[in-house]
Structure 1
Amino acid sequence: MKRNKIIEVLDLDKLTEHKQRVAFHEAGHAAGIHLNNKARKLPPVFFKIIFKDMGGVTDADVMAYQTTHDDCIARVEGGRLIESLPPSIDSLVRELTKHNDAMMQLVKDYTTAFEADIINLLIGPLAEAKHVAETDDELFNHQLVNLKALKNYGGSSDLALANEYLQSFSTDKQQRDEKLDELFSIAFDFVNNDANWAAITQLAEYIRGGSKNIIDCEEIVSMLDQSVDHFQNRRSVARHHHNG
């Protein structure tokens, strides 16, 4: 095989691998936005996945994604429960509850939504990390994949946005770090859940094998719900046979 042909094959393999990683990353975000929010009894929120034509992807795009995840390839548009962050959650709580104890439920709901948005940001790079680990036949655990490691899985901008949220959470760095560690563990457990991972994997396969540049919210939600239902039904049947 001629040298130029070898280079072309290597470039194609690199682009295929890159597309797979992007697919799992965005599928992770989407699964978080729908399944994580649903599990927390939060209201549905509109979102869609938008992709750049992979035929137009350059080596520079691939490098940019790996270092910054700057949306040069794909992005989830929408999906945030809280679009405008308050300067301080503490001050917001004081203002809301100053004259009305009934506002406490609203504060609780707001805090749940606030945390869910951060968790959903972290699920994206964690899904990509789990995909890479499985592809390389390596372990996926908290020791090997920690917060700092997420930058290796297109997570730089996700972490930056999560930190913007946490600036509203507390002025104390230790409190912010502790909260981020707590939410990271929740995101990790979400990705490591078998039913969630089956849904992420199915959506990623659909993304990777399709030719759409935009996947709408209804299609994503339907696919995720069907995947979870199918997984749970299979598990129920297997358990019944085992007990029977």
Structure 2
Amino acid sequence: MNRNHITRALNQVSHNELSRETAIYEAAHATAIYLGNKQRHLPPIFFQISITHDACGMDNEWIAKIDGGRLIHTLPSSIAEATRDFTDAQKQAYQLAFEADIINLLVGPLAEAKYVALRDHTPINPCLIPIQPLQYYGETSDLHTVREYLECFITEKTERISKIAELFFMALSFINNPSHWQAIVALTDYILRVGKDSIDCEEAGFIITQQAC
């Protein structure tokens, strides 16, 4: 899970704002993985927030990404094939993990979109936001992965559109929860303030829990 801000840099956003947008993006991922999975009674999973500073690059690039954090480590050719020999309970658990990974991937660009909208005093109207414009907020990896998930999850295009809309609004609901948003902002501030190259899931979880209780 990662977000690269090169596209945003072309639009003359200040370096400090680019850094904050990137931190918001990854803090939202981390919060969804740590807190959202727990709320869905899914097993805890290791992740690490890694930060890279490229002061020698043309754009003085600041990149953050999450290593790990996915319940489905390797995507199958199809979910039907992967669960062919599963019990009904196992199939339900696998589908829940599949959906959780998609929601957690969507939360990052949605959180960044919300932050930019709030900063620019243009609140988000969810009825006006299709999935496609989220490519502005980190298309390079996460939204491509969402499409890969959906392609092996649902083969029929109409059903796929319906499912992504459902999961999109679940992700939006997650970041719009006031305590979740406070946790995302608190972790963002911590990422920017602490100056570390990496923050593990326990350290991130402590910050998240302090705000989301």
Seen in structure 2, the aligned counterparts of structure 1 residues 83 and 226 have a Cα distance that, compared at 3 Å, is same
Distance 1:88 1:152 in 2: 29
* Alignment partner, residue 166 of structure 2: 182
Q: CA deviation at 1:172?
A: 1.3
Take 2:155 and 2:98, find their aligned partners in 1: how far apart are those partners? 16
Matched residue type, 2:53: D
Report if aligned partners of 2:54, 2:60 keep a CA contact under 8 Å in 1. no
More helix by share: 1
1:180-203 per-residue CA deviation (whole Å, 9 max, x = no partner) reads 111001001101110100000100
Q: Say which SS state the counterpart of residue 50 (structure 2) adopts.
A: strand
Counterpart of 1:9? Answer: none
Encode CA deviations 1:69-107: one digit per residue, 9 max, x unaligned.
xxx7111000000001121112333332xxxxxx21111
TM-score by structure 1 length? 0.78
Aligned residues of 1:124 and 1:155 also touching (Cα < 8 A): no
Alignment partner of 1:45: what SS?
coil
CA offsets 1:83-141 (integer angstroms, 9 cap, x no match): 01121112333332xxxxxx211111111000000000000011111111111111122
Q: Measure the CA separation in 2 of the matches of 1:55 and 1:207.
A: 18
Is residue 2:114 matched to residue 1:114?
no
Which ranges in structure 1 are unaligned for 5 or more consecutive residues?
1-11, 62-71, 97-102, 230-244
Q: Does the CA contact (< 8 Å) of 2:53 and 2:60 recur in 1? A: no
Sequence identity (%): 43
Match of 2:28 in 1: 28
**Which residue is 1:161 aligned to?**
145
Q: 1:149 aligns with which of 116, 133, 144?
A: 133
**Equivalent residues of 1:47, 1:79 under 8 A apart:** yes
Match of 2:66 in 1: 76
Q: Which moved more, 1:156-165 or 1:47-56?
A: 47-56
Greater radius of gyration (CA):
1
Query: What is the deviation of 1:57?
Result: 5.1
Where 1:21 maps in the other structure, the secondary structure is: helix
CA-CA distance at 1:145 after TM superposition: 3.4
What is residue 6 of structure 2 aligned with on the other side?
none
**Bigger shift: 183-192 or 45-54?**
45-54
Q: Is the 8 A contact 1:57 1:73 kept in 2?
A: no
Number of matched pairs: 203
1:213 equivalent in structure 2: 197
1:242 paired residue number = none
TM-score (norm 2): 0.89
Shift of 1:43: 0.2
